[in-house]
A and B are shown apart, each in its own frame.
Chain A
Amino acid sequence: MDLELDTDQQELRDHARSFLADSCPPSLVRDLFEGRVIEGRVVEGRVVEGRGPADSGGLWSAMVELGWPALAAEVDHGGLGQGFVAEAVLASELGRVVAPGPYLATVTQFAPVLVAAGAAELLGRVSAGDLTGALALGAADASARADGDGWTLDGVKTHVLDGASAEEIAVVARLVGSRGHEGVGAFLVPRAAVAVEPLTVIDPTMPLATLRLDGVEVDGARVLLDPRDPASFDALEHVRRHATVAMALSGVATCRAIVEATVSYAKQRHQFGRPIGSFQAIKHRLADLYLAVERADALAWYAAVCLAEDDARLPVAAAMAKAALGDCQRLATRDGLQLHGGIGFTWEHDLHFLLKRATTTAFLLGGAEHHRAELARHLGLVA
């Protein structure tokens, strides 16, 4: 097993990192946290036309120009065919700088449903940057009723990432009266067709919304995964794992940024005539924090390779990656804030962007306990 990026992948990472250093500086994140309008912002010396409220100062437009939504997608879907490792590189670089925008929801959550559905035309639009989407998981929250050629959807979807800004929502719903692995499907619903309640969240770079579906009618062409098809459940499980691995990678990168910020602070800040980082009490906490990040990072990349190679170990690897993100986020948030002392507690300091983003990624798509419970089943500890 080779868990290190190859030369091309390292090059992609370096390019992405340098692009984001210019195009997604902390000031952009601060603008978002402080609610300033940032459309039409100057990027790389020129005004970029915004692509709607999720465009965050033209950041998404610039990513589209770089071909990021197309990078991992298959050539048949208008993509560049570089596979999931390329997507993983981008998800993690975005996490490192707390980048806002549609990438996570559209590319790592919405597009995989389209792939499962074989929706080539829609995928072409995603690759071209002409379509943003969101994924509303949780079959228990919505019901589907066959209605002539079409379907009627009812229910409430909670904590949908980009739910208030995506153009299309992939809604997971269950046939009325069905149970277990039976009767679960996915439908393509225009955002305009649902009642959207944006939530005020602690991290505005990861906007969440509640979606109310009240007798939403969907025609037959908008069925992505037919709930009557027994294969739909497994297809959706794969989608969920894809989204989970991307979230884990992105969140671990945010945690790594917290460690870097905290280590750097511990070297600069002097008390009692010496850098606080020379005290063993601080050193050992940072060593443990670094270990927690490396542990989660190694598992996240292992899961990424399992996904890229369509390996049977993916279900275990994905759950381990997300559980380990939870462990490392808890430590990074606690020690990152604690070791920064008073300054990290102020709104003025940029640290809290990282803390809130890390926490958001750890809590979405199942926290550590959720994934450990899943692992108990995978490892044969419970039926």
Chain B
Amino acid sequence: MKLRFDESVESFRAELLGWLAANRPSAEEMAADPSVSTGHAPAWARRWTRTMFDAGWLVPGWPPELGGRNATPTQTLVYLEELARARVPRTSNVQGLGIVAPSIIDYGTPEQIEQYAMAILHGEATACLGMSEPDAGSDLASLRTRAVRDGDHFVVDGQKVWTSGANYADFCFLFCRTDPDVPKHKGISILLVDMDTPGITVRPLPEIVHPDHPDLNEVFFDSVRVPADRLVGELGAGWAMANGSLAHERGMVWVSAVQGIEEALARLLDEAPATTATLPPTEQALANDRIVQVAIDATAARCLGYRAFAKLARGGTAPEQALMKLFSSEVRQRVAEVAAEVQGPDALVTGEVAFDGHQAIDEPQGTWLEQYFQSFANTISAGTSEIQRTIIAERVLGLPREPRPT
């Protein structure tokens, strides 16, 4: 147990900070042309991805040929923290760099790696993740979009929904059913589908805040012909790959969420004395108490993340990991909720939305109340909070599964 990392990690940090200072995009450059969707990479973001790749800073844990420097897990953790602290995005295409590229590298053919994964790593392409459907949300394995083999092509028909960044992405990492006659987890495969293929219709779904900058979409597939060599991994192995791909940078996905919480909390602590100055003392004390409670949550989130990380870094398992998604998304929501309520009716005034580009577009931004509404993206997507609680109860606490309806 110790508060500081050892020398080798600190010298890694120093090297990174020196390189960032010399090479990072400026705040002005980012704000002038911010990303407006997780599938949208403005010109500066594409250059920045390439610059990081060439210098081995894009995915530090990978070897140099994949844009890394064989960094240790602890070094990678420090890297993620320092990028967030410097308010530089690692990428605007979070799902492309975080899930799609690593999955293709793990399971794809050399041609797929070259054409699709490397394009993401070079900043030349963005990807979206075609998972949820109207009748397959939390129960993803029930998805019905089907791909039928026809000669040297698959023909895809169906509909995806909540597809982040599909309105800008160059290709889709598409989960589809290739065998309707086997148990539902076994008939799912993954295809790489170019978004400009005929038969694809993308309909953006403006959200409850910032409707001018939709990130979520419905995607319709109508007899879309996809070359058979775009099948990733084995036919029918899509479900296993979906689970495997989430293990990339294992134990570190919490870093940006916690940094987002801390950034929001710092702003709240900074504003609060002025906001509450005119309140009667009792009301002020009640407001302060609520702020303190989220401050405790924020510190706890970081401590839980570090502890999970320490356990994984020692080769063990970390039940805390299962908690991080639930806890960090709910804390982020509480920070915005408390901040808006402390503001009172002033919270109702919406301003001009000015994204400054330093966060991915799916992070809560704007006024406190807008942040509050937007924070539900993270308590609903990627497994709702309710699903997370069930996962914690069953996989961490070992409680018996609910009997399947007969």
Pick the contact of B392: A2, A291, A379 (CB < 8 A).
A291
Residues in A neighbouring B403, C-beta threshold 8 A = 274, 278
Write out, one digit per residue, whether chain A residues 308-330 have a CB within 8 A of any chain B CB (1) or not (0). 11010000110010011000000
B305 to chain A, nearest CB (A): 9
Known: A2-B306, A283-B389, A286-B393. A294 touches B3 (CB 8 A): no
Known: A9-B1, A324-B300, A372-B289. A290 touches B392 (CB 8 A): yes
Residues in A neighbouring B319, C-beta threshold 8 A = 294
Asked if A221 is at the interface (CB within 8 A of a chain B CB), the reply is: no
Pick the contact of A382: B3, B288, B390, B398 (CB < 8 A).
B288
B299 touches A320 (CB 8 A): yes
B31 to chain A, nearest CB (A): 29
A277 touches B400 (CB 8 A): yes
A3 touches B310 (CB 8 A): yes
Surface stretch bound by A, among B43-51, B195-203, B290-298:
B290-298
The answer for the CA separation of A376 and B284 in the assembled complex, in Å, is: 11
Surface stretch bound by A, among B127-135, B151-159, B320-328:
B320-328
B74 to chain A, nearest CB (A): 9
Q: Which A294-318 residues have a C-beta within 8 angstroms of B?
A: 294-296, 298-299, 301-302, 304-306, 308-309, 311, 316-317
A3 touches B307 (CB 8 A): yes
Interface of chain B, main secondary structure? helix
The answer for the CA separation of A290 and B310 in the assembled complex, in Å, is: 19
A286 touches B320 (CB 8 A): no
The answer for the CA separation of A290 and B327 in the assembled complex, in Å, is: 11
B3 touches A305 (CB 8 A): yes
Size of A's binding interface in residues, CB under 8 A: 52
- Residue of A at shortest CB range from B293? A372
Write out, one digit per residue, whether chain A residues 77-91 have a CB within 8 A of any chain B CB (1) or not (0). 000000001000000
Asked if A380 is at the interface (CB within 8 A of a chain B CB), the reply is: yes
Asked if A263 is at the interface (CB within 8 A of a chain B CB), the reply is: yes
Asked if B269 is at the interface (CB within 8 A of a chain A CB), the reply is: yes
Asked if A248 is at the interface (CB within 8 A of a chain B CB), the reply is: no
Asked if B180 is at the interface (CB within 8 A of a chain A CB), the reply is: no
Residues in B neighbouring A299, C-beta threshold 8 A = 296, 299-300, 303
A185 to chain B, nearest CB (A): 31
Residues in A neighbouring B272, C-beta threshold 8 A = 381
The answer for the CA separation of A118 and B319 in the assembled complex, in Å, is: 42
The answer for the CA separation of A214 and B297 in the assembled complex, in Å, is: 45
Q: Which A253-299 residues have a C-beta within 8 angstroms of B?
A: 263, 266-267, 274-275, 277-280, 282-284, 286-288, 290-291, 294-296, 298-299
Pick the contact of B292: A2, A280, A298, A376 (CB < 8 A).
A376
Residues in A neighbouring B291, C-beta threshold 8 A = 376, 379, 381
- Residue of A at shortest CB range from B320? A294
A277 touches B399 (CB 8 A): yes
Asked if B267 is at the interface (CB within 8 A of a chain A CB), the reply is: no
Pick the contact of B393: A9, A287, A298, A320 (CB < 8 A).
A287
B140 to chain A, nearest CB (A): 19
A275 touches B400 (CB 8 A): yes
Residues in B neighbouring A288, C-beta threshold 8 A = 389
B252 to chain A, nearest CB (A): 14
Residues in B neighbouring A380, C-beta threshold 8 A = 269, 273
B1 touches A6 (CB 8 A): yes
A212 to chain B, nearest CB (A): 34
Asked if B114 is at the interface (CB within 8 A of a chain A CB), the reply is: no
Pick the contact of A274: B292, B295, B311, B400 (CB < 8 A).
B400
Asked if B396 is at the interface (CB within 8 A of a chain A CB), the reply is: yes
Residues in B neighbouring A283, C-beta threshold 8 A = 389-390, 393-394, 399
Q: Which B266-284 residues have a C-beta within 8 angstroms of A?
A: 269, 272-273, 276, 284
Residues in B neighbouring A290, C-beta threshold 8 A = 323, 392, 396-397
The answer for the CA separation of A291 and B320 in the assembled complex, in Å, is: 9
The answer for the CA separation of A263 and B326 in the assembled complex, in Å, is: 20
Asked if B304 is at the interface (CB within 8 A of a chain A CB), the reply is: yes
B292 touches A381 (CB 8 A): yes
The answer for the CA separation of A302 and B299 in the assembled complex, in Å, is: 9
B310 touches A379 (CB 8 A): no
The answer for the CA separation of A263 and B327 in the assembled complex, in Å, is: 20
The answer for the CA separation of A379 and B3 in the assembled complex, in Å, is: 21
B389 touches A302 (CB 8 A): no
A306 touches B3 (CB 8 A): yes
Asked if A4 is at the interface (CB within 8 A of a chain B CB), the reply is: yes
A82 to chain B, nearest CB (A): 12
A277 to chain B, nearest CB (A): 4
Residues in A neighbouring B386, C-beta threshold 8 A = 284
Residues in A neighbouring B28, C-beta threshold 8 A = none
User: 9 nearest interchain CB pairs?
Assistant: A283-B393, A4-B310, A298-B303, A287-B389, A277-B399, A287-B392, A278-B400, A3-B307, A295-B300
Q: List 22 A-B contacts (CB under 8 A).
A: A3-B306, A6-B1, A85-B1, A274-B403, A275-B400, A277-B399, A278-B402, A286-B393, A286-B397, A288-B389, A290-B396, A291-B392, A294-B319, A299-B300, A301-B307, A304-B1, A305-B2, A306-B3, A375-B295, A380-B269, A380-B273, A381-B273
Other than A277-B399, A376-B288, give 5 A-B pairs with Cβ distance below 8 A.
A291-B323, A294-B319, A301-B303, A320-B296, A372-B296
Which positions in B face A, CB cutoff 8 Å?
A: 1-5, 269, 272-273, 276, 284-285, 288-289, 291-293, 295-297, 299-300, 303-304, 306-307, 310-311, 314, 319-320, 323, 326-327, 386, 388-390, 392-394, 396-403
